[in-house]
């Protein structure tokens, strides 16, 4: 029985779990899916692959994914984006925080750009929020709103249906959507300058998207208080850029000790040669780097709001 006086919402991050959840809801709970509001909180600093994947999802699901963006200078504090929008609320908020960059122990970006934006959009409405936390993630908790004017109750369909990581891959593959392309080189969704990126991912960003890497580098020097903050503890991005080939090569050597060679497209020598020759895109497109990432298991760092 569906409560007619409650809103049904499902946040889509562009990551594998939230994407698979939308598909799973459509396949297993059509009466809920018919009413559900799919939304994406846009930071203005997302990877282009995420926008491409959201477009594919909309076509597959036959339902619009509402794009919500923080708008700090307005009364509503958010806006609904349609079409092209180049605004970057992160830059506005960075002024508020006097150049202090977000970090794992100070995730103001998540709070300001994701959580508060979603809360302002919901207002005082009572909502059932469907969250893509799986049965094999007992340590993770879904967001539940606090305060008398906010009523958000989290539901976990994957847990209810006892679905784990391999089930998520099966859902995405059987739909024909597969994984978003950024999983070829990155372990999680999020902003291009996300501080949860591994060092090797920063190095690859410097090669695949040098302009974005340089933009991220600017944040390390341009602060209102003139102090130096870095995305990586004790290592400025200049260091990553100067040592990118070595960082990627060392990572490949380390991870190759952990993988089954039968699963790889290229052997270690070929992979290292491709990196030395600057054939990054060709190597990334083989999905071999994802297989090297997978040797460590799923990346559990980060927060529910950004990562799922």
Taking residues 129-146, report their average pLDDT. 80
**Band of pLDDT at residue 301, cut at 50, 70 and 90:** low
Res 304 pLDDT > 70: no
Taking residues 224-246, report their average pLDDT. 87
Res 7 pLDDT > 90: yes
Taking residues 170-175, report their average pLDDT. 97
Percent with pLDDT over 70 in the chain: 91
Taking residues 148-170, report their average pLDDT. 90
74-78, 148-152, 274-278: which is most confident: 274-278
Render pLDDT for 200-221 as a digit per residue (tens, 0 to 9): 999 999 999 999 999 999 998 7
Least confident of 141-145, 274-278, 295-299: 141-145
Between CA 60 and CA 256 the distance in angstroms is: 36
Q: What is the DSSP letter of 266?
A: S
Q: What is the DSSP letter of 140?
A: -
User: What is the per-residue DSSP string for 39-57?
Assistant: EEEE-S-B-HHHHHHHHHH
């Amino acid at each position: 029985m569906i409560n007619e006086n409650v809103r049904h919402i499902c946040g889509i991050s562009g990551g594998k779990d939230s994407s698979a959840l939308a598909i799973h809801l459509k396949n297993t709970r059509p009466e809920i899916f018919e009413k559900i509001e799919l939304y994406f909180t846009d930071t203005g600093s997302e990877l282009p692959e995420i926008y491409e994947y959201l477009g594919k999802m909309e076509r597959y699901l036959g339902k619009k994914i509402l794009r919500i963006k923080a708008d700090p200078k307005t009364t509503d504090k958010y806006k609904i984006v349609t079409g092209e929008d180049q605004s970057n609320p992160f830059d506005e908020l960075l002024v508020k925080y006097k150049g202090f960059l977000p970090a794992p122990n100070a995730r103001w970006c998540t709070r300001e750009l994701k959580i508060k934006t979603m809360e302002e959009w919901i207002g005082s409405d009572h909502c059932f929020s469907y969250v893509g936390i799986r049965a094999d993630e007992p340590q993770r908790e879904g967001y539940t709103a606090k305060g008398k004017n906010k009523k958000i109750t989290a539901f976990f369909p994957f847990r209810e249906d006892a679905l784990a990581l391999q089930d998520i891959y099966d859902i995405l593959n059987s739909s024909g959507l597969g994984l978003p392309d950024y999983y070829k080189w990155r372990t999680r969704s999020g902003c291009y300058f996300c501080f949860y990126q591994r060092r090797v991912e920063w190095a690859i960003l410097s090669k695949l998207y040098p302009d974005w890497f340089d933009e991220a580098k600017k944040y390390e020097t341009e602060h209102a208080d003139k102090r130096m903050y870095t995305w990586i503890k004790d290592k400025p991005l200049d260091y990553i850029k100067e040592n990118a080939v070595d960082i990627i090569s060392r990572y490949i050597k380390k991870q190759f000790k952990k993988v089954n060679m039968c699963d790889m497209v290229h052997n270690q020598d070929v992979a290292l040669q491709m990196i030395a020759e600057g054939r990054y895109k060709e190597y990334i497109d083989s999905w071999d780097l994802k297989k090297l990432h997978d040797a460590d298991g799923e990346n559990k760092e980060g927060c529910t709001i950004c990562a799922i």
